[in-house]
């Protein structure tokens, strides 16, 4: 028998609180940690942040004090989980080094989803986002080498290449063109649901992170790069959230969130190579199973709906952090010139001169564009841009030489 989240016993909610020293996780060694252990931690921090904020929104939309109490209880635990996970990052890992981790998450998480997404439209949306975060990794890696003398390949390992994607300067679109077709939860494949919920939480955390840390850099170019890329993360959150089914009730959304947490901790517990991280995934899984059970009870009590009609009793295929070098190269070759027009993707060469994309571009990209400037300065200082190539030259001719 496989793992059935509806049947597995979790940890009773009243036993889930931990004391301060248990929460104050021993940080990993930034030179020794597996790149994908760092990635899993970054992603789960985003998932727990979404859990807490979602539950706050939930509380603001109910008059029922019993519901407020129940969600306050599990929310306090979500917050503890967020601390235990995020405090694994050591203080000597700089904001910029952590940022490389964030963009590696975006690249390898999105690429895995593209390769495992049953809905062709959603896959296309993922492919589109993939090339943008792939470019962010390149821009930040250049800033990292220029400012701190650190090569980002030390952080990403031999798993992820670093070279231009869809150039960040070309990613700035009109907000109307970030909205995608909305899903229908009754028809959506559970794999699609898990992919969208997970990626959305990850992108949202990246957006929050850049919003808050971008101004701790001292030089104007670094500050500029974070604010420019931060605005693209806003576009990405807009894109991914629009794929969800907006007609789901609060209790349905709650059940889906807790199921997603169980699914991720379960998958990561099985894949984890770092014993300390594995222990956290294992412990959190047992907590989430109980959150899920409580959420299913609420769905039953208040919506008179059975969670088993909403979600399968075996998890979809587990999201895996793994190298996607060939896949990313293929998408680069075929899709780097695309932009979005309403809910679809078109080569930007097909757009008219007075299109809203061109108008937004001409407003935002007047004067210095930080994502371009960082490369120019790197070339000026070190003779060339920073790249980390594992499979030969760049697949797109116009991106072979630093501008
Ligand atoms: Fe959680
Ligand atoms: Fe990004
Ligand atoms: Fe992103
Ligand atoms: Fe939870």
What mean pLDDT do residues 235-247 have? 98
Q: What is the pLDDT of residues 353-384, one digit of tens each?
A: 999 999 999 999 999 999 999 999 999 999 99
Residue 264 has pLDDT above 80, yes or no: yes
- pLDDT computed for residue 2 by the predictor: 84
* Domain segments of the chain as ranges: 13-399
C-alpha 96 to ligand 1 mean position (Å): 26
Q: How far is the CA of 9 from the centre of ligand 2 (A)?
A: 37
Of 134, 110, 245, residue with least CA distance to 190: 245
Dist. CA 109 → ligand 3 center (Å): 11
Neighbours of ion ligand 3 (CB under 5 A): 106, 133, 203, 233, 236
- Distance (Å, whole) CA 25 – CA 234: 30
Of 195, 227, 249, 205, give the one whose Cα is nearest residue 364: 227
Q: Would you say residue 403 has pLDDT above 70?
A: no
Question: What does the mean pLDDT of the chain come to?
Answer: 97
DSSP result, 305-356? --GGGTS-SSPPSPP-----HHHHHHHHHHHTTEEEETTEEEEGGGS-TTSH
Work out the pLDDT band at 200, boundaries 50, 70, 90. Answer: very high
Q: What count of residues does the chain have?
A: 403
Residues 316-330 have a mean pLDDT of: 98
Say yes or no to pLDDT of 314 above 80: yes
Å from CA of 306 to ligand 2 middle: 37
CA dist., res. 5 & res. 27, Å (int) = 30
pLDDT at position 219: 94
- Confidence category of residue 1, pLDDT binned at 50, 70, 90: low
Which ligand has its closest atom nearest to the C-alpha of 295? 4
Candidates 115, 14, 114; CA nearest to 70 is 14
Cα(224) to centroid(ligand 1), Å: 33
Distance 284 CA to ligand 2 centre (A): 27
Rounded Cα distance between 116 and 264, Å, is: 15
C-alpha 197 to ligand 3 mean position (Å): 14
What is the distance in A from the centroid of ligand 1 to the CA of 83?
11
pLDDT at 254 over 90: yes
* Average pLDDT score over residue span 163-192: 97
For position 247, what pLDDT does the model report? 97
User: 137 falls in which pLDDT band (50, 70, 90)?
Assistant: very high
At 191 the pLDDT is: 98
pTM of the model: 0.98
Neighbours of 160 (CB within 10 A): 28
């Amino acid at each position: 028998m496989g793992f059935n989240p509806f049947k597995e016993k979790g940890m009773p909610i009243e036993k889930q609180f931990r004391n301060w020293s248990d929460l104050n996780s021993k940080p990993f060694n930034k030179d020794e940690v597996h790149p994908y252990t760092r990635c899993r931690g970054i992603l789960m921090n985003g998932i727990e942040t979404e859990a807490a904020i979602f539950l706050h929104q939930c509380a603001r939309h109910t008059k029922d004090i019993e519901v407020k109490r129940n969600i306050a209880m599990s929310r306090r635990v979500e917050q503890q989980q967020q601390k235990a996970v995020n405090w694994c990052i050591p203080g000597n890992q700089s904001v910029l080094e952590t940022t490389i981790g964030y963009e590696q998450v975006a690249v390898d998480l999105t690429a895995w989803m593209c390769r495992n997404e049953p809905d062709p439209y959603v896959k296309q949306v993922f492919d589109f986002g993939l090339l943008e975060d792939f470019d962010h990794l390149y821009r930040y890696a250049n800033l990292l080498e220029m400012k701190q003398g650190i090569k980002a390949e030390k952080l990403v390992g031999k798993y992820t290449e670093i070279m231009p994607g869809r150039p960040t300067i070309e990613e700035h679109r009109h907000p109307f063109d970030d909205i995608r077709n909305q899903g229908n939860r009754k028809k959506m494949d559970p794999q699609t649901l898990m992919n969208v919920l997970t990626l959305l939480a990850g992108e949202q955390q990246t957006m929050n992170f850049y919003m808050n840390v971008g101004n701790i850099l001292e030089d104007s170019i670094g500050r500029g790069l974070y604010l420019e890329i931060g605005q693209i993360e806003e576009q990405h959150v807009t894109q991914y959230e629009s794929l969800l089914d907006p007609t789901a009730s609060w209790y349905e959304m709650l059940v889906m969130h807790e199921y997603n947490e169980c699914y991720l901790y379960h998958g990561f517990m099985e894949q984890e190579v770092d014993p300390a991280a594995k222990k956290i995934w294992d412990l959190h899984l047992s907590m989430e199973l109980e959150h899920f059970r409580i959420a299913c009870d609420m769905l039953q009590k208040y919506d008179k709906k059975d969670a088993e009609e909403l979600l399968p009793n075996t998890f979809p295929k587990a999201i895996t952090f793994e190298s996607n070098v060939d896949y990313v190269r293929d998408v680069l070759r075929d899709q780097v010139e695309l932009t979005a027009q309403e809910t679809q993707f078109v080569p930007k060469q097909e757009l008219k001169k007075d299109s809203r994309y061109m108008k937004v571009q001409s407003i935002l990209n007047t004067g210095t564009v930080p994502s371009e400037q960082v490369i120019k300065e790197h070339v000026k200082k070190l003779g060339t841009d920073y790249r980390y190539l594992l499979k030969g030259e760049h697949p797109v001719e116009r991106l072979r030489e630093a501008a």
